[in-house]
Amino acid sequence: MRYGTQLQSIFSPSPKSQNLTMLWNKLASLLSGPDEQQTPHLEIQDAIAVLLIHAAKIDGHEDESERETRDVLLKEKFELGDEELSTLTEKAAELDAGAIDLYQFTSVLTRKFDQEGRKAIVRMLWEIVLADGALSDYEANFMWRVAELLGVTTRDRVALRKAVEGGLST
């Protein structure tokens, strides 16, 4: 009997090793990030709406022309009615308020769209930031960051800006 108890005590984990195992598992889960099941699924329209909302207010205030442009773009892009638009913009505003970076939104779009699709998103953003007739340093920096995150080249970003500016002046 004594021999069996000794073997059992050798092979059973001690409280100290159990604590180390729990600590290791906790550390591993923190480093691996949240479970996909715990992370809410981000839709394409949510990601685009968040970027448009963020673009409209990046300079510290959301101008009426920026808000109107945003609403028109979202209605046209996703064929939304007024109620659906309201729901989408409310959800996107909440997502934007809780966001710590733009990558979580741009990464969804980068995976789902080809280069032309991503350029179309950058064009939409230019329409927002230029809607009030002025481009602040914050807006210019925002456009640079988002275009880079979306993989849109500097040449394309500048060309899209000029195209939007040309369309706004006519």
pLDDT tens digit string along 134-144? 999 999 999 99
pLDDT at 10 over 70: no
The span from the CA of 56 to the CA of 59, in Å, is 8
pLDDT digits (tens, 9 = 90+) for 25-42: 666 656 655 444 333 457
Task: Considering only CA atoms, give the Rg of the chain.
Answer: 24
If we measure between CA atoms, which residue out of 144, 166, 168 comes closest to residue 156?
144
The span from the CA of 169 to the CA of 70, in Å, is 18
pLDDT digits (tens, 9 = 90+) for 92-130: 999 999 999 999 999 999 999 999 999 999 999 999 999
CATH match of 44-169 with 3.40.720.10: no
Helical ranges in the chain per DSSP H: 2-11, 15-32, 44-57, 64-78, 82-98, 103-112, 115-129, 137-150, 154-169
- Please, what is the average pLDDT of the chain? 85
**pTM, to two decimals:** 0.74
